[in-house]
Amino acid sequence: MKKNKRLISKIDFKTDNLIKGIEYDGLRSLGSVKNFVNKYYEEGLDEIILQDCVASLFGLEPKYDQIKLFTKDIFIPVTVGGGIKNIEQIKKIFNSGADKVAINTGAIQDPDLIYQAAKEFGSQSVVVSLEIFKEIVDQNDIEEKSFINLYFKNGKEKTNLKLKEWIKKIENNGAGEILANIVNRDGTGEGPDIDIVNKIKEITSLPVIYSGGIGNYNDIYKLFKETQVDAVSVSSLFHFHYYKSLIKLKNKISKDLRYGKNDDYGNYDYVLDGYGGIELYKTEKESIKKIKSKLIKDKIIVK
């Protein structure tokens, strides 16, 4: 029997703010994480990924009190990532309300962490996150060659790992799922990288969540129809749909929020205009309910 596909949203956060950038840079606040989490749960989202996008970068401890707040009264699976380095932290994250953990930097620095986590909590609760950057190099005027590089520390540091070897290693160590983040598509709305999804599914039978470049419904449909991906994580498309209504709700916005390039610009209107070399922001905003309704109409079975 075929497994149902899953519609997920990855919420990148710093302090208590949902933030969104393009290609993991130029991060901007869009409002309170809790407001977005509550709304996404009410709208029928299948799962939520909460990613502290500065914890691993700066070697910070996971924010357990925030995780408790974000997951309170949310009765769908929640995955938490960022700053995870040992079993004790994972234990605290689960005690704070999370169902799964997503590990990238900690797994690269200590691959045995995956084995230990799977042994202690079960493979189903261990997601290994991949930060993938596809580099296109012109060979000549006719031919192009692409290189797939793996990064860590929120896309800031490159590894020497090879995609196939690393996936086989994490699979053998007991990972239960892969979150494939395509860094060079992140926040662009330019569409998914079908080629990378197919490469990953050729290597492993582990469930794969795709994240990066989703700009409209057709991108989601294409992934489910043309690949063996198990879930699609949609961020900008949902975040910017709900932004204007949720920003009106009372919430605390940190002043110490921005880092990266172009930090003298504002949030929503600026992102719509594009930045960081991207001429046009291509994401079409749409609601969770409408996307799920279209998937069902197109015979894509979602939870």
| Phi, psi of 4, deg, nearest 5 | -65, 145
What is the mean predicted confidence (pLDDT) over 41-51? 97
What is the mean predicted confidence (pLDDT) over 182-195? 91
Domain ranges of the chain: 6-297
Q: Is 264 among the catalytic positions?
A: no
Amino acid occupying residue 113:
L
Q: For residue 248, what pLDDT band results from cuts at 50, 70 and 90?
A: low
Q: For residue 268, what pLDDT band results from cuts at 50, 70 and 90?
A: very low
| Between residues 78 and 3, the one the model is more confident about | 78
Annotated catalytic residue: which of 12, 25, 52, 230? 12
**CA distance to 70, 154, 259, per residue, from 25 (Å):** 24, 9, 8
What is the mean predicted confidence (pLDDT) over 188-209? 94
Strand, helix or coil for residue 32:
strand
Q: For residue 243, what pLDDT band results from cuts at 50, 70 and 90?
A: confident
Q: What is the pLDDT of residue 138?
A: 61
Q: Which of 287, 303, 199, 172 is nearest to 240 (CA)?
A: 287
Annotated catalytic residue: which of 112, 138, 256, 269? 138
Amino acid occupying residue 274:
G
Which secondary structure element, helix H or strand E, spans residue 231, and what is its range?
Answer: strand 231-233
Compute the mean pLDDT over every residue in the chain, rounded to the nearest whole number: 85
Query: Which residues sit opposite 210 in a β-bridge?
Result: 180, 232
- Number of Cβ within a 10 Å radius of residue 293: 12
Residue with tokens 């995609």: 163
What is the mean predicted confidence (pLDDT) over 224-231? 96
Q: What is the pLDDT of residue 16?
A: 86
Q: Is 186 among the catalytic positions?
A: no
Contacts of 74 (CB under 8 A, 6+ apart): 37, 38, 41, 48, 97
87-117 pLDDT tens trace: 999 999 999 999 999 999 999 999 999 999 9
Q: In the chain, pLDDT over 70 holds for what percent of residues? A: 83
Asked whether residue 132 carries a pLDDT value surpassing 50, the answer given is yes
| Between residues 140 and 197, the one the model is more confident about | 197
What is the mean predicted confidence (pLDDT) over 32-46? 95
**CA distance to 49, 213, 268, 283, per residue, from 185 (Å):** 18, 4, 19, 12
Q: What is the pLDDT of residue 256?
A: 36
What is the mean predicted confidence (pLDDT) over 196-204? 96
CATH class of 6-297: alpha beta
Contact 268, 278 (CB under 8 A): no
Asked whether residue 141 carries a pLDDT value surpassing 60, the answer given is no
Q: What is the pLDDT of residue 119?
A: 97
